[in-house]
């Protein structure tokens, strides 16, 4: 398990990322994956106030919502990085969204899925050697846009 700091943000290098929607994916074995929000997504969202998730058993498609988030600077959908069936929802995070902020890559996970096309969709995620570079690019982009304070 390796966590590196990129432009001030922690990043778990063994996870894969949808950097557009700031979701991380941890492969748990077989088709089972765990999904959460990365530290950059949390920083640009501000303080989380309210989380809603779909129910266990719901089919979600990659790029479609599996829940919604209300935060200080972001209100909108939580977008699935992979297609699949929801196997578990982190009830602790729903009850206490601050958990997502305090431990985004651990206890603050959001849902677990049985991925329906892990092999096919994995290539759409950022992983391995690309993570640090692409994450740093995203931080720079956000600073230029004013999404992050310079």
- The minimum distance between CB 7 and another protein, in angstroms, equals 16
| 119 versus 145: smaller Cβ distance to another protein | 145
Q: Please name the residues in contact with 86: beta carbons below 8 A apart, sequence gap of 6 or more.
A: 53, 54, 55, 56, 57, 58, 59, 60, 66, 111, 112, 113
Q: Shortest approach of another protein to residue 147 CB, angstroms?
A: 8
Give yes or no for a contact between 24 and 12, defined as CB atoms under 8 angstroms apart. yes
Chain positions contacting another protein, by CB under 8 A: 44-47, 49-50, 68, 70-77, 98, 145-147, 149-150
| Min CB(23)–another protein separation in Å | 15
Alpha-carbon distance of 143 to 145, in angstroms, equals 5
CA-to-CA dists, residue 117 to 59, 75, 113, angstroms: 12, 29, 11
Minimum CB distance to another protein, residue 52 (Å): 9
CA angle 59, 60, 66 (to 5 degrees): 120
| Min separation Cβ 148 and another protein, Å | 9
- For another protein, the closer of residues 44 and 58 by Cβ is 44
Cβ distance to another protein smaller for residue 104 or 121: 104
Residue 4 or residue 49: which is nearer to another protein going by CB?
Answer: 49
Q: Which residue has the tokens 């999404």?
A: 147
Query: Smaller CB distance to another protein: residue 104 or 112?
Result: 104
């Amino acid at each position: 398990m390796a966590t590196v700091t990129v432009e001030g943000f922690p990043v778990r290098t063994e996870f894969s990322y949808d950097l557009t929607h700031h979701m991380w994916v941890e492969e748990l074995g077989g088709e089972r994956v765990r999904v959460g929000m990365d530290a950059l997504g949390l920083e640009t969202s501000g303080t989380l106030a309210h989380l809603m998730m779909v129910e266990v058993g719901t089919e979600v498609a990659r790029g479609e919502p599996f829940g919604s988030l209300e935060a200080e600077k972001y209100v909108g959908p939580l977008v699935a990085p992979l297609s699949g069936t929801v196997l578990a929802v982190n009830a602790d995070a729903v009850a206490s969204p601050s958990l997502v902020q305090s431990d985004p890559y651990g206890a603050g996970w959001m849902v677990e899925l049985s991925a329906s096309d892990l092999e096919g969709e994995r290539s759409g995620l950022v992983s391995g050697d690309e993570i640090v570079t692409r994450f740093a690019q995203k931080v720079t982009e956000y600073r230029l846009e004013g999404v992050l304070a310079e």
